[in-house]
C-alpha cells in the first residue's frame, strides 16, 4: 500500500532537486547567448576593419585589393546577420528560461507548503486518533464506572464519620464539663489564696482591691452623713415655717 505521507515527502525532495538541474540548463542558454553576442561584436569589428581597408585600397588606386576586401566584407555581413538572428533567439530563450524558473520556484514553494501543511494535518490527525483510541479503551474498560463507584464510597464513608462525630459531640454535656472546669479553677485560686494568707503574703492586686474597697466605704459613709445633715436642716426649716 502506498503511504501518502511518504509520497509527499519524496515529492518535496524531488521538487528541491530540480532547482540545480534547472540552473544548469539556464546557464547553458545564457552561455550560448553570450557566445553569440561576442560573435556579433567580432563581425561588427571585422566589417569596420574591412570597410576601412577597402577605402584605403581605393584611394591607392588598388582596385584589385579593394575587390578582395569587398568579397570578405560581403561574407562578414552575411555572418553578422546570421549571428544577430541567432543572438536574438538566444536572448529570448534566456528571458523565457528565467520566467520559467521564477514560475517553477513559485509553484514549487506553493506545493511544498501545501505538502507540509498536509503532513502537519496528518500528524495532528494521527495524534487525535491515538487520543480517541485511548478514550475508547478508557470507556470500554469500565474504568469510569469503577472510578465513580469508589468516589461515591469514599464520600459516603466520610459523611458517616462526620455524622458519628456530630452525634458523639451532642451526647456529651459540654456545659457541665465547662462548669466543673471553672469550679476547679476557682477552688485552686482559693487554695493558693489561703496559702498566701498563712504565709503573710498578699498580692499587690489584692491590697489595691482592699484599699479601693475602703475608700469606697468611706465615700459611702461621708455621703450618708451629708445626706442626713441635709435632711435634718430641711426638717428644721419646715418646723420653723410652721411656727
Going residue by residue through the chain, which has 243 residues, state the pLDDT in tens, using 9 for 90 and above: 577 778 877 888 888 888 888 889 889 999 999 999 999 999 999 999 999 999 998 898 888 888 898 999 899 999 999 999 999 999 999 999 999 889 888 888 888 888 888 888 878 887 887 777 776 665 555 555 666 777 778 888 888 877 777 776 666 656 666 777 788 888 888 888 888 888 887 655 555 655 555 566 666 666 655 555 555 555 445 454 443
3-state secondary structure 72-100: HHHHHHHHHHHHHHHHHHHHHHHHHHHHH
**This model's pTM is above 0.85:** no
Best CA proximity match to 5, nearest among 109, 100, 119: 119
Residues composing the chain: 243
Helix (H/G/I), strand (E/B), else coil: 61: coil
Query: What is the CATH number that goes with domain 4-140?
Result: 1.10.287
Residue ranges per structural domain of the chain: 4-140
Amino acid at each position: 500500500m502506498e503511504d501518502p505521507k511518504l509520497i509527499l515527502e519524496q515529492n518535496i525532495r524531488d521538487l528541491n532537486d530540480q532547482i540545480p538541474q534547472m540552473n544548469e540548463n539556464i546557464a547553458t542558454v545564457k552561455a550560448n547567448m553570450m557566445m553569440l553576442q561576442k560573435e556579433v561584436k567580432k563581425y561588427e569589428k571585422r566589417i569596420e576593419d574591412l570597410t576601412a581597408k577597402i577605402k584605403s585600397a581605393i584611394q591607392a588606386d588598388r582596385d584589385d585589393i579593394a575587390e578582395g576586401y569587398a568579397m570578405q566584407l560581403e561574407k562578414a555581413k552575411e555572418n553578422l546577420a546570421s549571428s544577430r538572428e541567432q543572438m536574438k533567439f538566444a536572448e529570448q530563450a534566456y528571458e523565457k528560461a528565467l520566467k520559467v524558473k521564477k514560475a517553477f520556484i513559485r509553484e514549487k514553494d506553493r506545493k511544498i507548503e501545501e505538502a507540509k501543511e498536509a503532513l502537519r494535518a496528518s500528524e495532528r490527525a494521527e495524534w487525535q486518533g491515538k487520543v480517541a483510541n485511548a478514550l475508547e479503551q478508557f470507556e470500554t474498560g469500565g474504568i469510569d464506572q469503577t472510578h465513580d463507584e469508589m468516589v461515591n464510597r469514599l464520600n459516603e464513608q466520610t459523611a458517616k464519620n462526620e455524622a458519628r462525630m456530630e452525634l458523639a459531640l451532642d451526647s456529651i454535656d459540654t456545659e457541665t464539663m465547662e462548669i466543673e472546669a471553672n469550679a476547679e479553677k476557682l477552688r485552686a485560686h482559693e487554695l493558693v489564696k489561703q496559702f498566701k494568707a498563712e504565709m503573710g503574703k498578699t498580692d499587690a492586686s489584692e491590697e489595691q482591691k482592699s484599699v479601693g474597697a475602703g475608700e469606697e466605704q468611706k465615700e459611702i459613709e461621708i455621703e450618708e452623713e451629708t445626706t442626713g445633715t441635709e435632711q435634718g436642716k430641711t426638717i428644721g426649716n419646715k418646723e420653723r415655717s410652721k411656727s
